[in-house]
Amino acid sequence: MTEPADPPEPRRGMAGFYLAMGALLALAVGFAFAWTPLRILRWERAVVKAPGSSAWDLGNEKYQAACLLVDLGPAVLPAVRRLVENPDAEVRLAAVSALREPEHAWGLPLIVEAASDKDWRVAYVAIGSAEKVSGRRFGNVASPLTEPPTDETLRVFRRLLLDWWEREGRVKYGGGGE
């Protein structure tokens, strides 16, 4: 006699596998979209919270964090604006100092605003940054600074920058995302 056939094994569904894969894919996509905003937040906070050493020294932590922030590109404009408007002059100085390369032209409207800062260091560095980004000269800012510029010198440099900005800079570089 023939032996009875073994009962068929229960078939396992693939629903669990597909649910797990979908969840992993959703996490990966979510992380990819959140990566840049998280980096912006990290470097913005690092600029603000770095030790209070003078940002005049371009090797300090505030300046380094600001450079890493602005190197992320135009997406950081709102974060850099918050830094340029920060009540701490060292934070403002670090932010403006980091915007010194021609590829940072997206930040020129902020640099022009910073040229009117009440702290002479921030204003002076902003004028120097505007020179480097735009390729124009607005005074003798590139020369080594041995003592603070006089109020009149700073006023002349600032006026040259603002005149250029109103004449052609605003049209070429935009109004700062406004």
Domains and CATH numbers, the chain: 19-173 (1.25.10)
Counting every residue, how long is the chain? Answer: 178
Average pLDDT taken over every residue of the chain: 84
Residue-wise pLDDT for 60-93, tens only, equals 888 888 988 999 889 999 999 999 999 999 999 9
Q: What is the distance between the alpha carbons of residues 114 and 107, in angstroms, rounded to a whole number?
A: 11
C-alpha 98: how far from its chain's center? 8
Tell me what pLDDT residue 7 has.
Answer: 72
Confidence grade of residue 1 (pLDDT, cut at 50, 70, 90): low
Tell me what pLDDT residue 95 has.
Answer: 92
Tell me what pLDDT residue 178 has.
Answer: 42
List Cβ<8 Å contacts ≥24 apart for 153-156: 154/120, 154/123, 154/124, 154/127
Tell me what pLDDT residue 160 has.
Answer: 93
Tell me what pLDDT residue 177 has.
Answer: 44
List Cβ<8 Å contacts ≥24 apart for 51-54: 52/90, 54/90
The secondary structure of 136-169 as a DSSP string is ---SSTTS--SSPPPHHHHHHHHHHHHHHIIIII
98-119 as b/e: b if 16+ CB within 10 A = bbbeeebbbbbbbbbbbbebee
Residue-wise pLDDT for 28-44, tens only, equals 787 777 677 778 788 88
* One-letter amino acid for residue 144 of the chain: P
Q: What is the distance between the alpha carbons of residues 99 and 165, in angstroms, rounded to a whole number?
A: 17
Q: What is the distance between the alpha carbons of residues 69 and 149, in angstroms, rounded to a whole number?
A: 29
Mean local confidence (pLDDT), 114-131: 92
Residue-wise pLDDT for 132-148, tens only, equals 999 888 876 666 667 78
